[in-house]
Structure 1
């Protein structure tokens, strides 16, 4: 396993991490979740990603039971939660980034995960209804109480993250350490364009999600068959339509040909491509089967095969490289 610093912080995260969105407490049994975490940990994965909104809190409960039963030393793993969407009971002050919800959600996540503190705590989306000062102060309170060690954002714009950094500096508070954006061969703008200033000037770290673009780059859908995949889950029609868009599928079919030529599974080529970006601190893998996770955990061996020429070929096929902003 390779370990990378989370941005400019001193925290070392495994280049590969394990996430629980759509799987824990939902798509897979608790037994499989336990096996997946054990396989990941034994392979050197030290970061397990979660959120209050995943399976309406059930995902954290499942992970908490596993962490307790595995009896791993607390120093040996990093666990996260995210605040914004709330759990099962929605309503006033049960969603968003108000001081009340940020602090209550953290306390609830600690109980579900059965830990004394969260290593990473993310604002899962920006909250237009709450002043940024209020959220930054709430995060700082949790830091001072020792309930969280680092805080960050997920799917915020560069301008919104910058505003949080400015507010933190203004009041001598601790600003965001990391952002969790979607990053893959389809979605590239934030990491390769919008955030460049934040990486260079502020040392922002990233914990990227959906490196296989919700499975589009996994090789499963080049046949157009979504049976027994996450796109087959109830209520996932919106994701299916977005993922299977014809234009994208054509590109992925071409990418599959390149992967075949290199004698690589498409998933591994796509994952290795993400890891080539030096601004990726860790890449969150999702898995519903142990065989799938074991295979993807060997992706670091593939990274050296992605020469400059291969990277150019990928760019030509995908046509998704963002144009750099003039500023």
Structure 2
């Protein structure tokens, strides 16, 4: 059995739990490991329906010892988010069931519907996709949930930043000083908190072409309440590393063109932009691994670190 096949096998207790969530007469006929997961195992389950048709579900399970400490909070956030997103203008998976404390499964797990489409990480068609992403994020921030998710948590501190080997120490020291400053005041909004190309699905027929259509947004495990600048900064930083430093500022511009409103003061924008860019320094190697597995083999550790360094330098060189 290949590693991919082994990863696709659902553990006995979890399998029994999933079966209890199915309709009468339904059965699981296939399990496939989904690529791209960093914090959790992701599996696509094909279900044979009573009438002979099929439908698909997605199973998320937290199994990594480090990530297990966050599993209950993450799965509760995702379950709450999927419940509140149902019927809104933002397409997300539908919640089937959740076992955040592993009361019934081997590991904390969540079962949800499967959305059509796929992620697109190629440079081709990026200009159009950036505007699509910006419009989608504006729609996310426009949501007014009945119950607010938890306040956002900063993903880095001045003491945990990991400057790349290629970095200019003086520039990064100045960037670190930026996040030592008091946090700017902000008006809270509904945040995805990990909105980036790897968590947005596009129609398979149009993906990578002009006129592509977003079919849904996934991975709501970090949903939070906080400044929209933070979501924009995160997507900007990921785009800068994935496609090149110039795409970070271009996404922020596209967000405003789509009707989004960022912090008025340049110093406040810089705070959020730098905060998330520096947070990427701690995980950029880990983030790049699934990109390479998805075909972006040129995104070596050296390349992604050089791009992150160039993006941070660009942020610090921009007048504020």
Same fold (TM over 0.5): no
Task: Give the TM-score of the pair, scaled to structure 2.
Answer: 0.28
Task: Give the TM-score of the pair, scaled to structure 1.
Answer: 0.28
Q: Which one has the bigger helix percentage?
A: 1
